[in-house]
Amino acid sequence: MIDSAALLVTGGAGFIGSHLCEALLRQGKRVVILDNFNDFYAPQQKRANLAAIERCATASSGELVTVEGDIRVMADVDQAFTALNLPPECCTVVHLAAMAGVRPSIDNPRLYNEVNIGGTLNILEACRTWRVKRIAFASSSSVYGNNKKVPFAEADPVDRPISPYAATKKAGELFCHNYHHLYQLSVACLRFFTVYGPRQRPDLAIHKFTRLMAADQPLPFFGDGSSRRDYTYVSDTLLGILGALRWLEQDLPRYDIFNLGEAQTVTLARLVGLLEQALDKPVVLNRLPLQPGDVDCTYADITKAQAVLGYAPQVKVEEGIPLFIKWFNSTSKGHLPPLT
């Protein structure tokens, strides 16, 4: 077993990536961030995330290098791999960078193809040419589409995606398996289930709803409120990623897929009620029809992740929503509180 001393985190200034980088720095790792700080949402939010990571680096025994670049540009990818600056057997990649979101992918499928498939292929090619043998790939629960069997298990068929975003994430898993087979790359594909918490992207439901409710504005409420999601607090997702990194440290080339969720579902109506309670504000709903590409339910079977990765999520949504609101209120005063 080789303990990776250097990790490249693509999308490291984003929501999940920023928390992961801080955790790795606290472990004394050399962390290389590759991020293009695009304007899918306000770049200043990612700059603020990066500032928090830099403070963490200063207070820890780890080292931080930031490469501002695009995974679609091979020269930028190579610059990031160069910055690892250690023998390849001491290095691991965590590939989080992607164009996210179901609805925007319907409007611009070519961009999602370029970033999520082409960019992932660039990262895999760089692993091959730089001889880095371990990668964790951020996939998504969206690959399950509208599977009728719940909870979703990793062995379930995922060949009927209902959005371009979902199709690109499944394609990424397939390319990862291809590189595992051809080049003995060890791969953990991690299917994230509706992650929320501090630093969450502002376009996602919990953050968007909180912002609108704080401003006394109506919420866009799609469907009858019965759609269900497996909301996963970011600290639990982080535990799963760290477990996958430990699994990748083992000697033999390996490939597997793991669900990282809370293994519980919450209806949209229940979510709004929890926000009302945490904010102590009534809500006004702008009722709208269901949107193309949205799934009816996400629900993770985490049996494999529990057994193989030691994954044990802790934060139920009834606790997580107040924690998110606490962070939201702090950021409105210009503070960036810690994850917990």
By annotation, the residues acting in catalysis are 165
Provide the β-strand partners of residue 75.
Answer: none
3-state secondary structure of 13: coil
Provide the β-strand partners of residue 222.
Answer: 288
Contact 240, 190 (CB under 8 A): yes
* Distance in angstroms (rounded) separating the CA atoms of residues 82 and 126: 10
Q: Vertex 229, ends 224 and 328: CA angle to 5°?
A: 100
Run of H or E residues at 135? strand 134-140
Residues 6+ apart with CB under 8 A from 106: 163, 164, 292, 293
Count CB-CB contacts under 10 A for residue 224. 11
- Cα dihedral value 33, 34, 36, 37, nearest 10: -20
The length of the chain is 340
Strands 266-267 and 228-229: antiparallel
For the record, the structure tokens of 137 come out as 């790939």
Contact 130, 81 (CB under 8 A): yes
* Distance in angstroms (rounded) separating the CA atoms of residues 220 and 194: 18
3-state secondary structure of 127: helix
For the record, the structure tokens of 232 come out as 């996963």
- Cα dihedral value 150, 151, 156, 157, nearest 10: 50
